[in-house]
């Protein structure tokens, strides 16, 4: 069953740039999908439309049956509770501990303290950082900081994890470590949509790969790699 649907989606910015054009795409629940393409191909715009940072100019985007474009601005926060988002630059709060960074959103939601503790420790255990609860971001390596960011993204058990260049600032070994964590989250049933330039990682993982070029979806392989596209 399709969990994400793009139907005739277009996005034109006010400066006239046509970032996404005639996008039709189905992603099933539990899939792991890499979105690749050169800079300016539409990857970031596609991802931003999924979590409603941007609205499509035309067409419809469905997430779990909800028409994302039609969600009222005042209700977007409810939509985002069902989505985890991981960025390239971690976005951790430097004056908060690892535990406090992961707990932060749950505290805003007003969850009971014991439930917050249970969820935070579960998320940190999943990313292999349960021993770092009292550490601060500047005491961690880049890979550890990204794993804290992942724990924060999954602490509320989202159905979808969106990753925008999550290994962009990491060396190859650390990237692999982070990708193993994300793959483990996928194995537990979370749908993953990841924009990346990491050719080596895409080739190793053998997941579904879609290629964007000038805002259009031009290739879609079930178990793809960068090699597919370079040979076309």
Give 75-123 pLDDT, tens digit per residue.
998 898 889 999 988 999 999 999 999 999 899 888 999 999 999 999 9
Exposure b/e, 66-92, CB count within 10 A at least 16 = b: eebbebeeeeeeebbeebbbbebebeb
Look at residues 57, 61, 70, 69 and name the one whose alpha carbon lies nearest to residue 18. Answer: 57
Average predicted confidence (pLDDT) for the chain? 92
Largest CA distance in the chain: 54
pLDDT tens digits for 47-57? 999 999 999 99
The answer, as to whether pTM is greater than 0.85, is yes
d(CA 89, CA 122): 23
């Amino acid at each position: 069953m399709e969990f994400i649907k793009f139907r005739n989606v277009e996005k034109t910015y006010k400066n006239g740039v046509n970032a996404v054009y005639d996008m039709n795409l189905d992603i099933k629940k539990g899939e792991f999908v890499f979105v690749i393409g050169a800079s300016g191909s539409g990857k970031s715009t596609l991802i931003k439309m999924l979590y409603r940072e941007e609205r499509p100019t035309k067409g419809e985007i469905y997430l779990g049956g909800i028409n994302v474009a039609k969600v009222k601005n005042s209700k977007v926060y409810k939509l985002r509770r069902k989505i985890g988002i991981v960025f390239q630059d971690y976005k951790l709060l430097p004056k908060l501990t690892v535990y406090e960074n992961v707990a932060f959103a749950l505290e805003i939601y007003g969850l009971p303290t014991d439930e917050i503790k249970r969820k935070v420790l579960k998320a940190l255990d999943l990313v292999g950082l349960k021993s770092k609860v009292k550490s601060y971001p500047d005491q961690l390596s880049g890979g550890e900081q990204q794993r804290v960011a992942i724990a924060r993204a999954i602490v509320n058990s989202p159905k979808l994890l969106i990753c925008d260049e999550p290994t962009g600032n990491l060396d190859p070994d650390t990237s692999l470590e982070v990708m193993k964590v994300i793959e483990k989250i996928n194995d537990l049933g979370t749908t993953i949509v990841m924009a990346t330039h990491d050719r080596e990682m895409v080739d190793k993982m053998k997941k579904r790969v879609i290629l964007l070029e000038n805002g259009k979806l031009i290739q879609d392989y079930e178990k793809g790699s960068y090699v597919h596209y370079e040979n076309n």
